[in-house]
Amino acid sequence: MWTVLPSGAETSADIPFSLQNYLCTSMDQTKDQVKAILGAIKPKFVLYDFAYWVASFSQELGFKSISYSIVSAALQALRVVPSRKMIKGMTFEEMMQTPPGYPSSKVVPRPDEAAEAEVFCLQFGSGLSFYERLVKSKKESDAFAIRTCYEIEGPFIDYLAQQYAKPVLLTGPVLPEKRVSQLDQKWDKWLSKFEEGSGDCQIVLIPAHGDHIVTTMIMVEEMEVAVEVKREENGWISKESLCNAMESVMSRDSEVAITSLKQKGNALDKQEQLFQAESVKRWSNCPGEDAVSRSTNSGKLKHFKSRNQYHPFDSFEMYRFWSLISANGA
């Protein structure tokens, strides 16, 4: 029986998850066409996600292959590493175990996340499971990139680099630039009536899926800058749970609010450091070999650990990708 994809379906965002297996199968059938196009346009590097086979003709066509992911490094460290195979028929107890050498004791499997993680064992096009496709994409690439920054997910990034023995390139969140213009006098006068910090937003999280759950654990357990709304055993959220979570962060005297404000202050200090002119100048002037290293544990890679001032795919970012891989002789 044939399964027909909806008209215009081009990416996983266009269809429900139940059809994504067929989307990948269709995409795999374009391998020869993609190879012909790349052979004609002769790019210096190619970024891809599920199309693991792109790396198989990178040497022949003379480009560098980069596996790119927008999923958190923590989830990938937990579920998408060679040392911990995800296979169909795994028991709940096996799903609740962490991979060997996993770097966190706080961001760990829990029942709702483990149930979501079963998706990695499902077929995801051309006879491969979702886990196998993702691992092949990384193992066969010259390097892989993640939309994150070292300041938030450093231990998980180091762990992934160790697992795959490849450079991990970070595109980072695009933080807003600090406002330098002065407020209009009437607004400055009006805002000065309020207590300092009264406009600071508290973070209340209600995660629904695997990556959301893991990211929530980072913010609640590791960073201590947010609170999670507790679900009932059936997955529902009661108005009492939501109310309790909101009250815990809104009351300035609560332990949760005090800890959250303290940790947010530390985070803001780090953000301020990222925007220092000297930091930007140092990044802009480091295209040589001193800025690259195959090991993310090396201090030489510090310039790549946070790419917050630039769009992930601007031309300057692409130049940095190329410089890093070329200098490593990958």
CATH of the domain at 149: 3.40.50
* DSSP letter for each residue of 138-173: HHTSSEEEES--HHHHHHHHHHHHHHHTS-EEE---
Residues 6 or more apart whose CB falls under 8 angstroms from that of 40 comprise none
pLDDT for 229 equals: 92
Owning domain of residue 16: 12-177+281-328
Q: State how far the Cα of 74 lies from the Cα of 210, in Å rounded to an integer.
A: 11
- The pLDDT assigned to 33 comes to 97
Determine the pLDDT at residue 35. 97
Residue 66 pairs with which residues in a beta bridge? Answer: 47, 143
User: Per DSSP, what are the bridge partners of residue 319?
Assistant: none
Q: Are residues 239 and 151 in the same domain?
A: no
Q: Is residue 93 part of a domain?
A: yes
Assess if residue 134 is contained within a domain.
yes
Q: Can you tell me the distance from the alpha carbon of 123 to that of 278, in angstroms, rounded to the nearest whole number?
A: 49
64-69 and 143-146: which strand pairing?
parallel
Domain final position from 226, 255, 273: 273
- Do 44 and 63 meet the contact criterion of CB atoms below 8 Å apart? yes
- Strand 204-205 to 168-170 pairing: unpaired
Residues in the chain: 330
Asked if residue 7 belongs to a domain, the reply is no
pLDDT score for 62: 96
**What is the full per-residue pLDDT of the chain (330 aa) written as tens digits?**
566 888 888 888 899 888 989 999 999 999 999 999 999 999 999 999 999 999 999 999 999 999 999 999 999 999 999 999 999 999 999 999 999 999 999 999 999 999 999 999 999 988 899 999 999 999 999 999 999 988 889 999 999 999 999 999 998 776 667 677 888 889 888 888 877 766 667 788 999 888 999 999 999 998 888 889 988 878 888 999 999 888 887 776 667 666 666 666 555 555 555 555 444 443 444 333 333 333 333 333 333 333 333 233 333 343 344 444 444 444
Do 287 and 269 share a domain, yes or no?
no
In this predicted structure, what is the pLDDT of residue 278? 40
Q: Is residue 2, in this structure, part of any structural domain at all?
A: no
DSSP reduced 3-state for 310: coil
Asked whether the CA dihedral 168, 171, 175, 178 is positive or negative, the reply is positive
Q: To which H or E segment does residue 204 belong?
A: strand 204-205
How far apart are alpha carbons 121 and 270 in whole angstroms? 38
Distance CA(197)–CA(157), nearest Å, equals 33
Domain count, the chain: 2
Longest dimension (CA), the chain: 70
Q: 103 and 21 share a domain?
A: yes
Q: Which structure tokens are listed for 160? A: 């992934």
Helix (H) or strand (E) holding 235: none
Residue 133: its H or E element: helix 130-139
| Whole-number pLDDT of residue 59 | 95
CA-to-CA dists, residue 31 to 2, 3, 42, 64, 141, angstroms: 21, 20, 16, 17, 16
**Do residues 112 and 213 touch, judged by C-beta distance below 8 A?**
yes
pLDDT tens-digit profile of 87-143? Answer: 999 999 999 999 999 999 999 999 999 999 999 999 998 889 999 999 999 999 999
Residues 96 and 241 in one domain: no
Q: Between the CA of residue 64 and those of 42, 58, 268, 270, 314, what are the distances in Å?
A: 11, 6, 36, 33, 18
Last residue of a domain, one of 235, 252, 273: 273
Which among 256, 273, 290 is the end of a domain? 273
